[in-house]
Amino acid sequence: MSEHDTPAVAAYQVVKRFHGQEILKGVDLQIRQGEVACLIGPSGSGKSTFLRCINHLEKIDGGALYVGGELMGYRRVGDKLYELKEAEIARKRAGIGMVFQRFNLFGHMTALENVIEAPMRVRKVPRGEALDQGKILLERVGLSHRLNAYPSQLSGGQQQRVAIARALAMKPTLMLFDEPTSALDPELVGEVLDVMRGLAEEGMTMVVVTHEMAFAREVGDCVAFMDNGAIIEKSPPAEMFQRPQHPRTRAFLAKHL
Ligand code: ADP
Ligand code: MG
């Protein structure tokens, strides 16, 4: 198997419990390198939890989760699993960019400072180099004219684009988006989706939790429908939206298309 055949993400029967209650009930999902996987499903079905498991912000209680062919968060020795040390987990996590519904920018830092913070602190990139990179990234998300603006001076759409640039500054091989446009005023959704579409065209592997069905249809290579802690249907968007197989998928899409 060549490196390119290694799935970017491979989840096998992933189980997650909170206070004894099973929230993820055996999630299976494989995503190829360069693929854009859109995850849809009702609120409370476990989409955010699953994303957080992918970068080990949540520990899984069963099954297995591989990112880039490596077990996420654990080392297997014989038939035993040992959790990796925090520093090793941090190193792995650094290769996975995450963009949340809320922009989570540092309010006391400018757009450019927000973007250079992690590369300097985590990757030890020299300030000059980080600044050059940061400016390129902010230009890429259409914000070269707002380098020195503070988050409070930016619209929600601009803040979310800074958040995307900040994630990209760590040179991730995988980007996770958790409803990145849900908190935005409708007129600002498009500019964020445009940036994401550009990333997809450049070949970035992306897992996108979204209610933007038009985006999923146009940009997604596959759409997975999650309900009640499991992925119950996954198919290319044309199939998913035209011929959903599962009754629960049909019921969900009937409400959301
Ligand atoms: P979605 O993103 O699909 O709306 P979530 O993954 O946020 O769903 O939540 C799935 C379920 O897990 C919900 O019932 C939620 O209350 C529960 N849950 C999520 N995070 C926690 C947590 N840290 N502690 C306890 N319950 C949680
Ligand atoms: Mg969620």
pLDDT band at 175 (very low <50, low <70, confident <90, very high): very high
Mean model confidence pLDDT for the chain:
95
**132-153 pLDDT per residue, tens:** 999 999 999 999 999 999 999 9
For residue 148, tell me if it sits in a domain: yes
Structural domain span for residue 121: 103-171
Q: CB atoms < 10 A from the CB of 63, how many?
A: 16
Structure confidence at residue 106 (pLDDT): 97
Q: Is the pLDDT of residue 4 over 90?
A: no
Structure confidence at residue 79 (pLDDT): 86
Q: CB atoms < 10 A from the CB of 95, how many?
A: 15
How many domains would you assign to the chain? 1
For residue 53, tell me if it sits in a domain: no
Structure confidence at residue 5 (pLDDT): 83
Q: Give me the half-sphere count of Cα atoms (radius 13 Å) on the Cβ side of residue 208.
A: 31
For residue 204, tell me if it sits in a domain: no
For residue 143, tell me if it sits in a domain: yes
Q: What is the token pair recorded at 35?
A: 């693929």
Contact 99/208 with Cβ under 8 angstroms?
no
Rounded to 5 degrees, φ, ψ at 241 are -85, -25
Question: In DSSP terms, which residues pair with 12 in a beta bridge?
Answer: 64
For residue 47, tell me if it sits in a domain: no
**70-94 pLDDT per residue, tens:** 999 888 889 888 889 998 998 889 9
Closest residue by CA, ligand 1 atom 20: 49
For residue 96, tell me if it sits in a domain: no
pLDDT band at 2 (very low <50, low <70, confident <90, very high): low
**181-213 pLDDT per residue, tens:** 999 999 999 999 999 999 999 999 999 999 999
Structure confidence at residue 3 (pLDDT): 58
Q: Is the pLDDT of residue 32 over 70?
A: yes
Contact 110/118 with Cβ under 8 angstroms?
no
Q: How far is the CA of 49 from the centre of ligand 1 (A)?
A: 6
Contact 74/82 with Cβ under 8 angstroms?
yes
SS3 assignment, position 145: helix
Q: Which residues surround ligand 2, an ion (CB under 5 A)?
A: 48
Least confident of 18-32, 88-102, 106-120, 212-226: 88-102
For residue 84, tell me if it sits in a domain: no
pLDDT band at 249 (very low <50, low <70, confident <90, very high): very high
For residue 242, tell me if it sits in a domain: no
Residue 18 near ligand 1, beta carbon < 6 Å: yes
By most ligand atoms within 8 Å of CB, the mutation choice from 17, 18, 25, 101 for ligand 1 is 18
Amino acid at 223: V
**46-65 pLDDT per residue, tens:** 999 999 999 999 999 999 99
Q: What is the token pair recorded at 131?
A: 């600044």
State the average pLDDT over residues 118-132. 96
State the average pLDDT over residues 27-43. 97
| Angle (deg, nearest 10), helices 127-140 and 111-121 | 130
Rg (CA), the chain: 18
